[in-house]
Structure 1
């Protein structure tokens, strides 16, 4: 398997780290839901295979997810311990401290809403004075923020009055009560700031390329499965569109594509390119057919590999950035039987060639060719070559992974490193403390997470169990990618790489057929048609609004809520 070249800093071993790996490692610190998904549905799920990794390494992402989870869990546990200890030591002072924290939070909410509501209120007054039309959305936004501002001000006033009332009810002097509350508050502040600084420091390690290299049975299994030659995919469930629902009929759905983890299916030859293997000359088809056939399918695959490797090994315009090439063998989840020795270890070259030459087997071989721009934008081309019915069949598909979310790129931005970044992280943690305390119920899930991690040490996909499927359930990289509609200029880069690979494959196949004395006139005609057609199918959905279809025209009415959410003139 050819290794792809990626851009980014180097780790201690001198290996270049893909940008997507660093950004996903940062994401597990910044996104709690993403972190828990990685732990629960990747590390702890040993009943299913791990999806192939394209343009990133999954092992450091999982390791950082566990590190972030430990820091978050320890921080939450320490805060709860301090609060419960304070409540047991001095209940009145603990109540006052809680009231003061709630007061700070209410004041923060009031300031945030005031910064939005005051300009909107001023604009409303100006619109009324000049008799200007107003958008309904502006009036609704103003009402929402004014309501939140009033509630925050009222709650702040109640909390201010609560402190002397607690002092009067308990008989403890106000000064002494405030001193005890200050001690408790400082303890909570130190714990929260210390944990926030530790999380931010760990986050900075990803920016410097200091990724962990864990060595355990589960991590080795994840690494083996993400690079494995065999990929298990799920066939789509048979689902008929609702009668008269043209949106379902016209929508493009690639959620059940066989190329797990490769991203969105953007281009495919439909139907595949098929040509009869005939000799040069005149006469009937039967007279011109080869007997025996001039080549086997694996020989053409080997030739294409040799020609495509010319795109690798250079750092200039003669090569593709982030080039990689490998064999992938796909098998449907329903076709996995009790004998699963093929899931353990790598297959020998002659075994892969045997699979290539068996077109009607449950195993489907694809030649996989990858390119990556800036370490994030990954384009993957899949080509299946079969010889059947005395004809050559080429099945071509292209998938694309768009960039990771922009919020995961925070460490590449200016001023997001150093002591000031740690200080800002501590301040944000204090602001978010009330919300984090409300999330303390997550501590009850700690035993189940740890139990799942212990159970995951044993790889269970090798042991058949009735009714249990072992195909991948999700791809971390596919879950965290910007939408195809937001790719914008990246689409041009993707289509350019797809066409470069497509053209080279067709021309190399033409040369191979010519060397084996095959009449290539039909092949050249169809190949030229494919090249000139360009990439037309990007998997876009076709939207038909307020239109009629067919002789007995039926209008596709829009939802009643359409147009109301966008606002209107008052």
Structure 2
């Protein structure tokens, strides 16, 4: 089943998450769990990634892992049966001809440690090799304890403790593995083995591991290297009604300018929230200037009513013509319509002047809708003429999903000025920097009810993808490898691969059974997990922090200019707005009226009042001392 192209289908973040499902089995299972097992949940709003290619790669690796697990299971069963047959034959020889040897006798002798049956080995060959595999797997897993804790979002002290405990546990497990491995190799090469099966089955498992790892490396090179990913055809989803529904739902949800949210986590997928800032001011009309004329409100949908053009200021027209004043009150829609051109011009100027990531700045209006609606639930389209929804040949009108473009357009139009508590419209400004590794998102909301202007600005920063996922290019650059090196690597890693594929096969079996038995009538949910956010690091580099701060401050300045133009264009006073902006941007406190006394702010602030010094008639500004 082919995948639809999305604007983020070929981004660097999408590529790294696709590569991550090959490197991290836990993340691979998390992808399948979130997108297939929890079909009642919509996906989080896309923030630089397309989750459909990630899902297709995860399913592809899972199918291949299941094949490898079945081959490993066959090898283990053959190994165990060979031990049973050899013990059965040894018991028959020991008890003499005609002895009635039952399977229970073989199992009892299997673990009694009789030297005449085990050739001096403490355990049967298959059990001893299983102990080697488990010890090596524990040593390998414990080595990544700290990174697993960090990826789970635990504090850094906990991650450091996990690093220490993991290193100690890894050493202990490695010591056990070496002990059992030494006993096994000494027993095989010591000459006491009558048949070669204790050597053949480990070699067969090494061949399976070689085949499985070679398949993974080919997939990374052909589809997910930095050179091939932009043009390579990505794997398709399996055929079937389930995957068709998932594909259609995810495509609709990722393309819509709307998302459902829960009260406990409304901004899933945006990253860490920065310091929000807001202000409220009373809207007061300024006196009409000489020669000032009225024009239509650009936010009302008029495009030729003589309103303020994006390249003009609200106070004067080009060429010194008398200024225009937009008729009608200032609304949230018209305020956002003044902010959007400011950000568009910022993007255009960045594209012309250099390689700044602001050249890719994205600006769109976005709706946050309270949860409680199923992702594919059909609703009546309120107030939106939709001829396509009318049935052919009579009958009742059919509704559309909440993510349908007509529904989204209705929400954007109706909710922008209502100022409701549940349904909220934001202007979403997004910058994908450092090849989508650092994503800065700024949400802007405006209220204009009750002759008041309220501006809310919420910045978010999404941190880079995990370092081990980004190391895929270093790994791919070392490929292809010689067959000798590949064979030695397969021999060394076969015990770990044997356990890994077994765990993956059991997880796949559990997921398949749960999918079949899971209640299809799950209550509707909201996005709970962002796959991009799950694999984010815990910090930014110094340069990344500097850039994210610069982007946020630049966007905020454009927002301020847009609001200032909106106030001027609608004939409102801007003095109080300027005072608020000066206060917020300079870290200062503006005091409108003051008679005597002194004010100081900040941990090191100092103020002194001298009696006899007349207070300044102008406003007093108390600086914040860093």
Same fold (TM over 0.5): yes
Q: 2:346 maps to what in 1? A: 311
- The alignment partner of 1:400 has SS state of strand
Q: 1:360 maps to what in 2? A: 420
CA deviations 1:475-516 (Å, max 9, x no partner) are 1111111113x5443211111100010001101211121121
Q: 1:508 maps to what in 2? A: 562
- The alignment partner of 1:384 has SS state of strand
Are residues 1:297 and 2:332 paired? yes
CA deviations 1:494-544 (Å, max 9, x no partner) are 11100010001101211121121111111111122222239xxxxxxxxxx
What is the CA–CA distance in structure 1 between the aligned matches of 2:504 and 2:137, rounded to whole Å?
25
State whether residues 233 and 333 of structure 1, in contact with CA within 8 Å, keep that contact through their aligned partners in structure 2: yes
Task: Point out the more displaced range, 364-373 or 291-300.
Answer: 291-300
Are residues 1:64 and 2:57 paired? yes
- Going from structure 1 to structure 2, the CA distance change for 1:103 and 1:294 (only over 3 Å counts) comes to closer
Q: 1:155 maps to what in 2? A: 180
Q: CA deviation at 1:193?
A: 0.4
What is the CA–CA distance in structure 1 between the aligned matches of 2:176 and 2:503, rounded to whole Å?
26
Q: 2:284 maps to what in 1? A: 278
The number of aligned residues is 453
- Going from structure 1 to structure 2, the CA distance change for 1:149 and 1:506 (only over 3 Å counts) comes to closer
State whether residues 193 and 427 of structure 1, in contact with CA within 8 Å, keep that contact through their aligned partners in structure 2: no
- Going from structure 1 to structure 2, the CA distance change for 1:152 and 1:191 (only over 3 Å counts) comes to closer
Q: Report matched runs for 1:5-404 at 5 Å.
A: 17-88=10-81, 91=84, 96=125, 99=128, 151-152=176-177, 154-160=179-185, 162-163=187-188, 174=193, 177-178=195-196, 180-204=197-221, 205-207=223-225, 208-209=228-229, 210=232, 212=234, 214=236, 216-236=244-264, 256=265, 258-269=266-277, 272-281=278-287, 293-312=328-347, 314=351, 316-317=353-354, 320-333=358-371, 340=379, 341=400, 343-347=402-406, 349=409, 351-360=411-420, 362-375=422-435, 376-404=437-465
State whether residues 62 and 508 of structure 2, in contact with CA within 8 Å, keep that contact through their aligned partners in structure 1: no
State whether residues 106 and 156 of structure 1, in contact with CA within 8 Å, keep that contact through their aligned partners in structure 2: no
- Going from structure 1 to structure 2, the CA distance change for 1:451 and 1:96 (only over 3 Å counts) comes to closer
Task: Point out the more displaced range, 72-81 or 22-31.
Answer: 72-81
CA deviations 1:307-335 (Å, max 9, x no partner) are 21223352643760432122211123369
Q: 2:505 maps to what in 1? A: 443
Q: CA deviation at 1:228?
A: 2.3
- Structure 2 length as normaliser, TM-score? 0.63
- Going from structure 1 to structure 2, the CA distance change for 1:109 and 1:18 (only over 3 Å counts) comes to closer
What is the CA–CA distance in structure 2 between the aligned matches of 1:142 and 1:63, rounded to whole Å?
35
Q: 2:159 maps to what in 1? A: none
Aligned counterpart in structure 2 of residue 533 of structure 1, from 587, 601, 620: 587
What is the CA–CA distance in structure 2 between the aligned matches of 1:305 and 1:108, rounded to whole Å?
55
What is the CA–CA distance in structure 2 between the aligned matches of 1:142 and 1:344, rounded to whole Å?
48
- Structure 1 length as normaliser, TM-score? 0.69
What is the CA–CA distance in structure 2 between the aligned matches of 1:354 and 1:451, rounded to whole Å?
45
What is the CA–CA distance in structure 2 between the aligned matches of 1:143 and 1:366, rounded to whole Å?
50
- The alignment partner of 2:477 has SS state of coil
Q: 1:246 maps to what in 2? A: none
State whether residues 200 and 425 of structure 1, in contact with CA within 8 Å, keep that contact through their aligned partners in structure 2: no
- Structure 1 residues without counterparts, runs of 5 or longer: 1-10, 114-138, 169-173, 237-255, 283-289, 535-570
Q: CA deviation at 1:306?
A: 2.5
What is the CA–CA distance in structure 1 between the aligned matches of 2:6 and 2:410, rounded to whole Å?
34
Q: CA deviation at 1:373?
A: 1.2
